[in-house]
Amino acid sequence: MAAHVEGQQHPIGIYLKIWGLLFVLSTASYLVDYFHFQGYLRWFLIITFMLMKAGLIVAVFMHMLWERLAMVYAILVPTTLLMVLLGIGALEADYTFFTRGVFFLKGLF
């Protein structure tokens, strides 16, 4: 036996439960489109289901839940920095849209 156990060992039931939950969440996000929800409700539901699915996959299927914090933080903290890129992208897109509006459709503004 090695000095410490390196394998991840969990009861098989937890994977089946998460699998089921992912099916339910995927169906729910499909129904958002099927029933033509629009506006903020659509956005709220899509983003919520997306983040829940992503969380379940990372936490359970990829075993993040049982890793040491040194590992979890090394992966998740850099990922949150992408929010900055997202913000910059949105600002830039708004500005581009505005200038295009001014340039292409002079009558509109």
Tell me: does residue 82 bind other proteins (CB under 8 A). Answer: yes
Tell me: does residue 92 bind other proteins (CB under 8 A). Answer: yes
Out of 39, 40, 104, 107, name the contact with other proteins by CB under 8 A.
Answer: 104
Phi, psi of 105 (to 5 degrees): -120, 70
Out of 40, 97, 106, 109, name the contact with other proteins by CB under 8 A.
Answer: 97
Q: Are 15 and 59 in contact (CB under 8 A)?
A: no
Structure letter (DSSP) for residue 60: I
In the shown chain, the binding pattern of residues 24 to 63 toward other proteins, with x for contact by CB under 8 A and - for none, equals --x--xx-xxx-------x---xx-xx--xx--xx-xxxx
Structure letter (DSSP) for residue 35: T
